[in-house]
Amino acid sequence: MTPMATLTRDEARTRAGLLEVHTYAIDLDLTRGEDTFASTTTVRFSTREAADTFIEFRPHTLHRATLDGHDLDPGTLVDGRLPLTGLAVGPHELTVTADMPYSHTGEGMHRFTDPADGLTYLYSMCCMTDGPLVYAAFDQPDLKATFDVTVTAPEEWTVLGNGIATPVAGAPGRWRCATTPPISTYLMAVAAGPYHSVRTEHAGLPFGIHVRQSLAPYLDQDADEILGITRAVFDRYHEILDEPYPFDSYDQAFVPEFNAGAMENPGLVTLRDEYIYRSAVTDTQRQLRGVVIAHEMAHMWFGDLVTLRWWDDIWLNESFAEFMGYQVLADAVPHFTPWTEFAVDRKSWGYDADQRPTTHPVAPEPDGVPDTASAWLNFDGISYAKGASALRQLVTWLGEDTFLAGVNDHFARHRFGNATLADFIDAMARASGRDVHGWADAWLRTSGPDLLAPRVRETEEGWAVTLTHEGSRPHRLRLGVYDGARHRETLDVELGADEPAQEVTAGGHRPDLLIVNDGDLTYAKVRLDTPSWDTAQRVLSDLPDPLTRTVVWNAARDMVRDAELAPRAYLEAARRHLPAEPETAIVEGVLSFATGQIANRYLPTAAGRTEALGLLSDMAADLLNRARETKDEAKQLIAVRTAIRCATTERPLREWLADDAIGGDPELRWQILYRLAALGATQEAEIRAEAERDPGAKGEEGAARCLAALPQEAAKAAAWDALFDPADVLSNYLFTATAQGFWQAEEAQLELLRPYVARYFPAAAGVATRRGHALAVAAAKAAFPHPFTERATLTLAEAALREDLPAALHRKLTDETDDLRRALRVRSRS
């Protein structure tokens, strides 16, 4: 991949003061072979004063560059920057012609050949700094321009773009996309290939959903649901926002090997194609797909219409889209309950990120994001989940009508332009007449979660609770008062930013259960007093509201992570209550923590892990029996998945593989085979045969994962070489699958794997340096030696962090190292 200099905020500010960019005319030829495509960019721009500047471009081969009709020296292109010198005041035209590299890491122009049928698909991913891997760009968000894109592709292909793409008459394979309104460079998008499409029209606009041919049957069976949700959230946005949808069409392309969940390209949203389900899924998974659809549509306004000026305001894009995605889906599709999934899953992601040494404010100070390399690191649980939680708290304070009035004022003032945190806060202050600037300083400029803990005592008139507050934010929240599982009353509390404690009094007898932050309206870690935890262990699944139950489960999760509650106690609560828990999002969230963290990392002995897996297996059996009685297919699926993950012997796995209802599902078959591989109960031949049975991309990934999981020296060596040998260039998805399979927590695998622990850290640095941001993240997250929760691993990790590492790898390794420290603390007190 062509090296790239990091763009600094100061450079961007200087260039924004110098330039006004008018248009990009981009011509792409996708018929040049498997390795490169042709790209010609013509940029029309003006300069406000005589000066020198540069444009970003990362070609395979630069053929020619002309500025105002004069040739530039291609040899001046260094580190992805082409100098533009001696610019006079006034208009200019730059044309750059080059061959560009195809990507297999989801960056720039990604090329994928489907192993199911040999068909090839392309899509661009220009966020955040990868546009110059497709075309020449003044690549910063505040230099917006209109885009005219033409594409030459094989005749049988479909081409999609930001504007409506139409075939050029008399030129087979030639497509022209309609001119866009002014958009930022990172939002330019193209998808091309023999896509299968389902098209419709809504509100006078063409809508389309697209997927590779091998997934066509699965798209067709879900098309009504996907388009129904798309129409419903589109209509809801038009009910609450004054500005109409600002683009000429709405396409959603579900694309292979996509790094993010989705990308908000105007008029052409790209989403990972795992959202097209080829196997049984739970209602929570379908609901999450709906959230992603609503989230990306929110970006058409929050990010695309009005765009951040610099990357320190990522929250203006992501926190808003996260909040609006959940809220609008809840409003538009009444049978969905997305805020429960948010509370149990997304919010935990935010809390975890906010307690690591890499935490940062939702809206960092300007000097907190000095360059694009730093900005990449802030696409995390803080910018998404914590920021959305802060906005939910703001709505609780201002009221929904006032909040939306401020939003609409913000859009009216900055449509098709750029804005900052100060601009948004000014709009909210105008709409509300309140000190929103003070709120923003407390909520958006600070790091770490507050902690709210109750101390309950009886009084002569009834009872009182002292709510202690560790932190610096104001909170508007509710205290839920319960007699057993019966809700008695709700007490509203306003806690000042500088208020370390507040006493609340009430009549009647002392409650059995007091829940701080009932309804989950604020963002703070909470605690249960001892009598409340004792009661919760008896009545948790009977509490009437799913958000109430989620707050209790999250409190228990935090207490385990902070070594205040024994992991075994959490597992016993799960064993007792999950079979009767009605909300699938809660069941899935609790089980994810119980299996992924407690069973595999927090228990100090192999015997403890085996006992935990047995307890969870018993719970899964109870859950399955109850779900069969009630014909709850989602719960049955969760139970089977859990039983597979927790199986410790071959026999039940083989029985499920032979069961038509279970073994007929391709994803469940791979999960079973993966568990058999980890247990050493299968061989390469069986894995290869399964890959032939399931010849597509998911089968390829499943086989890679299973082969890497085999407890054999040759299998581990082959997997290691595939991951880290410079000659073997796995795609981002195959790298992740292989890494997931490689490290196993089974006692029989640990000695086989131990020699690789010390080798991991220099190997990860090598792949991150060679292959860029996406693989750096995968190397740190998926390939980290998680089963070795040991002091020796911590020593190696800390030593690695003292080396000069690529920024993305350093950030993720810092997070993994901190998680390792936490796991060791939990183990030491278990």
Please give the radius of gyration of the chain, using alpha carbons only, rounded to the nearest integer.
27
For residue 537, CA distances in Å to 340, 344, 481, 582, 826 come to: 20, 18, 16, 16, 21
Residues of the chain with pLDDT > 70, as a percent, come to 100
CA dihedral 428, 434, 438, 439 (to 10 degrees): -60
Superfamily of domain 9-279 in the CATH hierarchy:
tricorn interacting facor f3 domain (2.60.40.1730)
DSSP codes joined into one string, 526-574: E---HHHHHHHHHHGGG-S-HHHHHHHHHHHHHHHHTTSS-HHHHHHHH
Q: What are the backbone dihedrals phi and psi of residue 305, each rounded to the nearest 5 degrees, phi first?
A: -70, -55
**46 three-class SS:** strand
Q: Which tokens sit at 8?
A: 């600094």
Contact criterion met (CB below 8 Å) for 115 and 108: no
> For 24-37, what is the mean pLDDT?
97
**Contact predicate 416/305, CB 8 Å:** yes
Half-sphere exposure at residue 89, Cβ-oriented, CA atoms within 13 angstroms: 2
Q: Is the pLDDT of residue 3 over 70?
A: no
Choose from 265-274, 308-317, 656-665 the range with maximum mean pLDDT: 265-274
Q: Is the pLDDT at 1 greater than 60, yes or no?
A: no
Which 3 state secondary structure label does DSSP give 29?
Answer: strand
What was the pLDDT predicted at 368? 84
Distance CA 246, CA 165 (A): 17
Model's pTM, two decimal places?
0.96
Spatial distance between the Cα atoms of 400 and 402, rounded to a whole number of angstroms: 6
Q: Are 292 and 197 in contact (CB under 8 A)?
A: no
Residue 66, pLDDT score? 98
Indicate which residue of 107, 257, 296, 581 is catalytic.
Answer: 296
Q: How crowded is residue 454: how many other Cβ atoms within 10 Å of its Cβ?
A: 18
Nearest Cα residue to 187 out of 157, 229, 142: 142
Is the pLDDT confidence value at 830 over 80? no
**Of 119-133, 354-368, 584-598, 612-626, which range is least confident?**
354-368
Please report the DSSP string for 201-222 in residue order. Answer: EETTEEEEEEE-GGGHHHHHHH
Is residue 460 annotated as a catalytic residue, yes or no? no
Q: What is the mean pLDDT of residues 253-281?
A: 97
2: pLDDT confidence band, cut at 50, 70 and 90?
A: low
Which tokens go with 63?
Answer: 């053929």
Closest CA to 403 of 381, 445, 434, 382: 434
- CA triple 649-651-655, angle to 5 deg: 135
Whether residue 128 has a cis bond before it, omega within 30° of 0: yes
Q: What is the mean pLDDT of the chain?
A: 96
723 in Cβ contact with 716 (< 8 Å): no
What burial class does residue 156 get, using C-beta atoms within 10 Å of its C-beta: 0-12 exposed, 13-18 middle, 19+ buried?
A: exposed
Residue (of 602, 538, 609) closest to 576 by Cα position:
538
pLDDT digits (tens, 9 = 90+) for 165-206: 999 999 999 999 999 999 999 999 999 999 999 999 999 999
Q: Are 431 and 406 within 8 A, CB to CB? A: yes
Over the stretch 443-484, which tens digit does the pLDDT of each residue have?
999 999 999 999 999 998 999 999 999 999 999 999 999 999
Residue-level pLDDT at 221: 97
Q: Is 734 left (phi over 0), alpha (psi -120 to 50) or beta?
A: alpha
Question: Predicted confidence band at 365 (pLDDT cuts at 50, 70, 90)?
Answer: confident
